[in-house]
């Protein structure tokens, strides 16, 4: 099964809120669900999946390894704990959520553990998240570019993250866009508003359609049924080359996510 280009993110969703969002998403047709150890909602995601009636083999399920589990001998037990919470024997994709803070642990140490998890059948695919070019090259040196399915990074019309996108494209690594609506800031963009009006859709739909037509994967999060449906429908919106170019032109390259433990960005 290939990774669906439109997924449902669960960042910041907790308890019954995430159960309802995942349940509604699966009902509407989402078949790609993204969670993480640090989100503290894997158990709720697992409960929603189990209760949905959708066969497990039809859902592409992603989780991410938190930084405290990157040291030797810690990654695989942490993933096994995630699998128990998610009520599944295997996830479809496991990502390293962030590089080790201050590079205290070499990239090869945790990438090799991740590759071992795949060899054991705990995950079908592996990848990374929030990796810079330098960290990506180290990951490639450790396990090979072919082994890395995606790099999940901040990416939206206001922040194109070009060094990472270009590096990944050149090496056949897909880019997954988290926070694809920039915390709702795309709704205020006149260019996206104008293009949306021409198509009878929201600026959010334009932002998502742009990401998908650029060849990326998008994982917007929402708790509203109408927004979940609109996000899913964005996959069917086709923008012209001129419209795509107009969207590319609005980037401010202002990063919204940059925690103090993060890497030195490209």
Residues making up the annotated binding site are: 97
Cα–Cα separations (whole angstroms), residue 257 to 86, 155, 169, 182, 197: 27, 10, 22, 10, 29
Catalytic site residue 39? yes
Q: Which residues are annotated as a binding site for substrate?
A: 97
Q: Per the residue annotation, which of 30, 39, 110, 178 is the catalytic one? A: 39
Rounded CA gap, 219 and 44, in Å? 18
Any idea of the CA torsion for 72, 77, 81, 86, to the nearest 10 degrees? Answer: 90
Rounded CA gap, 28 and 190, in Å? 30
Rounded CA gap, 201 and 31, in Å? 23
Pairing assessment for the beta strands 148-154 and 174-178 based on DSSP bridges: parallel
Q: Which residues are known catalytic residues? A: 39
């Amino acid at each position: 099964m290939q990774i669906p280009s439109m997924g449902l993110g669960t960042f910041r969703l907790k308890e019954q809120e995430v159960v309802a969002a995942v349940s509604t998403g699966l009902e509407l047709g989402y078949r790609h669900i993204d969670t993480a150890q640090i989100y503290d909602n894997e158990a709720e995601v697992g409960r929603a999946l189990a209760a949905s009636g959708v066969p497990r083999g039809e859902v592409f399920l992603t989780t991410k390894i938190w930084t405290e589990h990157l040291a030797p001998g810690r990654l695989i037990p942490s993933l096994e704990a995630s699998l128990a919470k998610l009520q599944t024997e295997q996830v479809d994709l496991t990502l390293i959520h962030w590089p080790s803070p201050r590079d205290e642990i070499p990239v090869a140490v945790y990438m090799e553990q991740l590759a071992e998890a795949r060899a054991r059948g705990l995950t079908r695919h592996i990848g990374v998240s929030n990796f810079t070019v330098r960290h990506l090259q180290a990951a490639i040196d450790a396990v090979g570019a072919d082994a890395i399915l995606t790099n999940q990074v901040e990416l939206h019309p206001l922040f194109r993250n070009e060094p990472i996108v270009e590096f990944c494209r050149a090496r056949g690594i897909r880019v997954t866009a988290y926070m694809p609506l920039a915390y709702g800031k795309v709704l205020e963009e006149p260019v996206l508003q104008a293009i949306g009006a021409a198509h009878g859709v929201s600026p959010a739909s334009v932002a998502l359609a742009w990401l998908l037509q650029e060849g990326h994967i998008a994982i917007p999060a929402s708790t509203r049924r109408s927004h979940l449906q609109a996000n899913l429908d964005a996959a069917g919106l086709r923008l012209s080359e001129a419209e795509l170019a107009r969207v590319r032109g609005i980037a401010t390259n202002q990063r919204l996510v940059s925690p103090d433990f993060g890497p030195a960005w490209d």
